[in-house]
Amino acid sequence: MTYRTYQDKYFEARALAQSGVLKVRWTDWLAASPVPLSDQVNLTDKVEGMLLGLAVGDSLGNSSESLMPDERRNRYGYIENYLPNRHANGQCIGLPSDDTQMAFWTLEQLIANGCLEPQYLGLAFSRRRIFGIGKSVRKFLSKFKAGTSWRHSGAPSAGNGALMRIAPVLIPYLKEPSCNLWSDTLLAAHLTHDDALSNVSCVAFVDLLWKLLGMSTAPEPAWWITTFIETCECIESDQDYQPRAGHPIGFSGTLSQLLKQYVLPAIEQKRPVLEACSEWHSGAYLLETVPSALYILARHGSDPRAAILSAVNDTKDNDTIAAIVGAAVGALHGLAALPDAWIAQLSGRTEASDDGRVFELLARAGAEFKYGVSAEVQSRVPNDALKQPLIQSRDLEEDALSQGQSITVHSPTLWVKVFGMLNQSWAAIDNLPAGGVRIWFMDDHGRVFDKLDYQLRREARDALRRNGWGVADKDFIEIAGFSNSNHSWDEGGPRHYSSGQYWIY
Ligand SMILES: [Mg+2]
Burial group, residue 355, by CB count within 10 angstroms (0-12, 13-18, 19+): middle
What pLDDT does 2 receive? 32
Distance 136 CA to ligand 1 centre (A): 13
| Cα atoms found within 13 Å of the Cα of residue 56, Cβ hemisphere only | 30
How far, in Å, are 124, 137, 173, 416 from residue 110 at the CA level? Answer: 11, 20, 11, 33
Q: How far is the CA of 325 from the centre of ligand 1 (A)?
A: 14
Q: How far is the CA of 67 from the centre of ligand 1 (A)?
A: 13
Cα(98) to centroid(ligand 1), Å? 5
- CA–centroid distance, 176 to ligand 1, in Å, is 31
- Tell me the CA–centroid distance for residue 104 and ligand 1, in Å: 13
Which amino acid is it at 435?
G
Measure Cα distances from 150 to 27, 147, 434 in Å.
24, 9, 15
Cα 392 to ligand 1 centroid, rounded to whole Å: 25
How far is the CA of 203 from the CAs of 50, 148, 159, 187, in angstroms? 16, 25, 15, 10
Query: Of residues 392 and 105, which shows the higher confidence score?
Result: 105
Residue 403 pLDDT more than 70?
Answer: no
Residue 138 has pLDDT above 90, yes or no: yes
Q: How far away, in angstroms, is 164 Cα from ligand 1 center?
A: 8
Helix, strand, coil shares, percent, the chain, to 5: 50, 10, 40
Residue pLDDT, tens place only, 425-460:
899 998 876 677 889 998 888 888 888 888 888 889
Residue 48: pLDDT band with limits 50, 70, 90: very high
DSSP code string of 218-242 = PPPHHHHHHHHHHHHHHH--S--B-
pLDDT the model gives residue 478:
66
Determine the 3-state secondary structure of 21 from DSSP: coil
Mean pLDDT of the chain: 90
Distance in angstroms (rounded) separating the CA atoms of residues 440 and 448? 7
**Integer Cα distance of 126 and 302 in angstroms:** 37
Question: CATH 1.10.4080.10 in the chain, residues?
Answer: 27-387
Share of the chain above pLDDT 70, in %: 92
Distance from residue 486's CA to the centre of ligand 1 (Å): 33
Ligand 1 center from residue 132 Cα (angstroms): 6
pLDDT in tens, 251-264: 999 999 999 999 99
**Distance in Å, CA 329 to ligand 1 centroid:** 19
Q: Burial, 187: exposed, middle or buried (Cβ in 10 Å; 0-12, 13-18, 19+)? A: buried
pLDDT, one tens digit per residue, over 102-128 is 999 999 999 988 889 898 899 899 989
Q: How far is the CA of 320 from the centre of ligand 1 (A)?
A: 6
Distance CA 145, CA 129 (A): 14
Overall average pLDDT of the 237-257 stretch:
91
Q: What is the mean pLDDT of residues 272-278?
A: 96
159-168, 189-198, 466-475: segment of lowest average pLDDT:
466-475
Bridge partners of 454? 437
Residues 6 or more apart whose Cβ sits within 8 Å of residue 104: 51, 55, 96, 168, 350, 357, 358, 361
- Return the bridge partners of 253, or none: 241
Distance CA 209, CA 192 (A): 21
Residue 232's pLDDT band (boundaries 50, 70, 90)? very high
**Is the per-residue pLDDT at 489 higher than 50?**
no
Q: DSSP secondary-structure letter at 425?
A: E
What pLDDT is stored for residue 434 in this prediction?
Answer: 67
Give the DSSP per-residue string, 44-109.
HHHHHHHHHHHHHHHHHHGGGTT--HHHHHHHH-S--SPPPBGGGTTB--B---HHHHHHHHHHHH
Tell me the average pLDDT across 252-280: 96
Q: Which of 141, 42, 72, 59 is nearest to 98 (CA)?
A: 59
> How confident is the model over 325-351, as pLDDT tens digits?
999 999 999 999 999 999 999 999 999
What is the distance in A from the centroid of ligand 1 to the CA of 211? Answer: 26
Gap between the Cα atoms of 63 and 61, Å rounded: 6
The Cα–Cα gap between 103 and 171 comes to 12
Q: Distance from the CA of 57 to the center of ligand 1, in angstroms?
A: 10
Per residue in 197-228, pLDDT tens?
Answer: 999 999 999 999 999 999 999 999 999 999 99
Contact 241, 158 (CB under 8 A): yes
What pTM, to 2 d.p., does this model score?
A: 0.81
Residue 113's pLDDT is what? 81
- Cα(416)–Cα(426) distance, integer angstroms: 5
Closest listed residue to residue 406, CA positions, set 452, 450, 446: 446
Question: Residue 431: what pLDDT?
Answer: 82
Spacing, Cα 62 to ligand 1 middle (Å)? 6
What are phi and psi for residue 291, nearest 5 degrees? -60, -35
Parallel, antiparallel, or unpaired for β 503-504 and 3-4?
antiparallel
Distance 326 CA to ligand 1 centre (A): 13
CA of 298 to the centre of ligand 1 (A): 23
Q: Residue 449 C-alpha to ligand 1 middle, in angstroms?
A: 36
Rounded to an integer, the average pLDDT of 290-298 is 98
Name every residue whose Cβ is closer than 8 Å to that of residue 462 and which is 6 or more positions away in sequence. none
Contacts of 116 (CB under 8 A, 6+ apart): 9, 106, 109, 110, 169, 172, 184, 187, 188
CA of 448 to the centre of ligand 1 (A): 37
**CA 5 to centroid of ligand 1, rounded, Å:** 34
Say if strands 437-442 and 470-471 run parallel, antiparallel, or are unpaired. Answer: unpaired
CA of 65 to the centre of ligand 1 (A): 8
Residue 66 confidence class, pLDDT cut points 50, 70, 90: confident
Band of pLDDT at residue 393, cut at 50, 70 and 90 = low
pLDDT for 32 equals 96
Give the span between the Cα atoms of 118 and 186, in whole angstroms: 10
Q: Is 287:256 a contact under the CB 8 Å cutoff?
A: no
Residue type, 164: M
- Asked whether the CA dihedral 492, 505, 103, 450 is positive or negative, the reply is negative
Q: How many CA atoms lie within 13 A of 267 on its CB side?
A: 23
51 CA distance to ligand 1 middle (Å): 15
- pLDDT for residue 6: 42
Structure confidence at residue 490 as a pLDDT band (50, 70, 90): very low
Confidence of residue 475 (pLDDT cuts 50, 70, 90): low
Q: Is the CATH number 1.10.4080.10 carried by domain 27-387?
A: yes
- Backbone phi and psi for residue 77, each to the nearest 5 degrees, phi listed first: 75, -165
Ligand 1 centroid to 289 CA: how many Å?
13
> pLDDT value at position 7?
52
- pLDDT greater than 70 at residue 399: no
Q: How far is CA 156 from CA 139, 199, 434, in A?
A: 9, 11, 19
Measured in Å, residue 197 CA sits from the centre of ligand 1 at 20
Could you tell me the pLDDT band of residue 408, with boundaries at 50, 70 and 90?
A: confident
Neighbouring residues of the ion ligand 1, judged by CB less than 5 Å? 97-99, 132, 319
Q: Are 125 and 350 in contact (CB under 8 A)?
A: no
pLDDT-derived band at 389, boundaries 50, 70, 90: confident
Compute the distance from residue 49 Cα to the ligand 1 centre, in Å: 19
In contact, 382 and 358? CB cutoff 8 Å: no
Distance 424 CA to ligand 1 centre (A): 48
The residues, ordered by sequence, that sit 6+ positions from 101 with a Cβ below 8 Å of its Cβ are 128, 130, 131, 350, 351
Determine the distance separating the centroid of ligand 1 and the alpha carbon of 134, expressed in angstroms. 8
Cα–Cα distance list, 395 to 116, 124, 128, 153, 391 (Å)? 19, 9, 9, 21, 7
